[in-house]
Amino acid sequence: MQEYTYTDFIDALNDTGKRIAEAIHGHIAESYPEYKPYGILPKNRDKKEWSLFFRKHPKHGKPLCALFSNDGALSIRCTFFSPMMHKLLLRQEEFGKNIRAEILRAGSCGQCGRFGDKQFCWVQHHFFVNEKLSWMCGGAWFEINDIEEGDLSDNDLNDFLHLIDIQSKHMAHSARETQGAGYNEENLLRCGEVSDVKLERTELDIDVFDPADYTDIKRLDKYARAYNLTPMGESNGLWFYLDERAICGTPDEGYRFTAVPEGAYANIKVSDPFTFSAIRAWDYVCLWIRRNEMSIASADIGGTKTPMLVKFYRQGEKQFMDIYVQIKNDRSL
């Protein structure tokens, strides 16, 4: 089989496509040299359609980004796991309006439509950003197709290179999103039924407790870092909150917010949590909230807001994690 090179791909592009592809290639070569242009192939006999993938291995692996040529016109694509999509939504104001619009379109699904549609798929990932719950199905694809002169300004191109920088930190397919077996059946087994509970305001202890009384500290520390959970304090368990600053790359110091606010919460009790994804647990609660036509309210923990509180504790020899998502009383989505 004939081997094709990066030059073959570039030669198939029009002038606009060449300029953009060279800028992307140069940025990746300088900043992420482990990702190289592989999988360069014509898609038809007249060689008017081509593909190229920036990845670590010549024949397999998730690409940092992909380029395509169709009769000389360049298309660009990035595929995201849900933690990357969440970070982009939280950081969307860092991008100009054109790339930001494509980021918001990245979560669209052929079955359930765009962010905010009320239909349900077998697996959906949920994001609570700017006091609004949105969701997507499976993975997300950012793409701009058949780029012609004037479609992608220099500012837009710089925005896309910034997106690649963020994407590079999410390339390892970790257990954060998929940890745990099966899906629907496993979710029900590990999370049980969702309850609508009331919590009173609770001041948490930050001085006189031993975390080892509640959990395996090494496993908890690793789990909390993976899922961006910041410690709050102790009250019948170790309390954490989902830290949006940590998701965006600037984690807050622990034990700064030390009170659980009163309110109504959707609650689940997850068994053996360190072998199960906190993202799946969050999605499980959000799906229940949507199906019951409720809405989420950020929990104000003392000047900052969070969509989720988490408590770790033991019962006998077994480890558990409680998830609390505050819900509004009007029960209208």
Domain residue ranges of the chain, discontinuous segments joined by +: 6-173, 177-326
Position 100 pLDDT exceeds 70 = yes
Radius of gyration of the chain (CA): 22
Rounded to whole angstroms, the Cα distance separating 124 from 287 reads: 8
331 band by pLDDT with thresholds 50, 70 and 90: very low
Q: What is the DSSP string of 37-101?
A: EEEEEESSTT--EEEEEEESSSS-S--SEEEEEETTEEEEEEEE-HHHHHHHHHTGGGS-HHHHH
CA geometry: angle at 169 spanning 168 and 171, to 5°? 65
Rounded to whole angstroms, the Cα distance separating 235 from 212 reads: 14
Position 220 pLDDT exceeds 50 = yes
Q: Which of 332, 249, 247 has its CA nearest to residue 294?
A: 332
Q: What pLDDT is attached to residue 98?
A: 95
From first CA to last CA, the distance across the chain in angstroms is 56
Q: Are 54 and 47 contacting, i.e. CB atoms less than 8 angstroms apart?
A: no
Q: What pLDDT is attached to residue 333?
A: 39
Rounded to whole angstroms, the Cα distance separating 324 from 272 reads: 17
CATH number of 177-326: 3.20.80
Which ranges in the chain belong to alpha helices (H)?
A: 6-11, 15-31, 82-90, 97-105, 154-168, 175-178, 184-191, 217-226, 244-247, 278-291
Q: Render pLDDT for 62-80 as a digit per residue (tens, 0 to 9).
A: 899 999 999 999 999 999 8
* Cβ partners under 8 Å of residue 174, min gap 6: 226
Q: What pLDDT is attached to residue 109?
A: 55
Q: What pLDDT is attached to residue 106?
A: 82
59 band by pLDDT with thresholds 50, 70 and 90: confident
Rounded to whole angstroms, the Cα distance separating 131 from 67 reads: 35
For 28-52, b/e burial (b = at least 16 CB within 10 A) is: beeebeebbbbbbbbeeeeeeebbb
Q: What pLDDT is attached to residue 118?
A: 55
Q: What pLDDT is attached to residue 332?
A: 43
Q: Render pLDDT for 15-38 as a digit per residue (tens, 0 to 9).
A: 999 999 999 999 999 999 999 999
Position 219 pLDDT exceeds 90 = yes
Q: Which of 55, 61, 66 has its CA nearest to residue 160?
A: 66
Position 311 pLDDT exceeds 70 = yes
Q: What pLDDT is attached to residue 264?
A: 97
User: What mean pLDDT value characterizes the chain?
Assistant: 90
195 band by pLDDT with thresholds 50, 70 and 90: very high
Q: Render pLDDT for 130-169 as a digit per residue (tens, 0 to 9).
A: 999 988 876 788 999 999 998 999 999 999 999 999 999 8
Rounded to whole angstroms, the Cα distance separating 163 from 100 reads: 10
Rounded to whole angstroms, the Cα distance separating 214 from 40 reads: 53
AA identity, residue 62: K
Q: What pLDDT is attached to residue 172?
A: 66
Q: Which of 269, 268, 245 has its CA nearest to residue 256?
A: 245
Range with the poorest average pLDDT among 54-58, 122-126, 234-238, 310-314: 122-126
Range with the poorest average pLDDT among 99-113, 137-151, 251-265: 99-113
The DSSP element (H or E) to which 233 belongs, if any, is: strand 229-234
Q: What pLDDT is attached to residue 57?
A: 94
pTM flag (> 0.95):
no
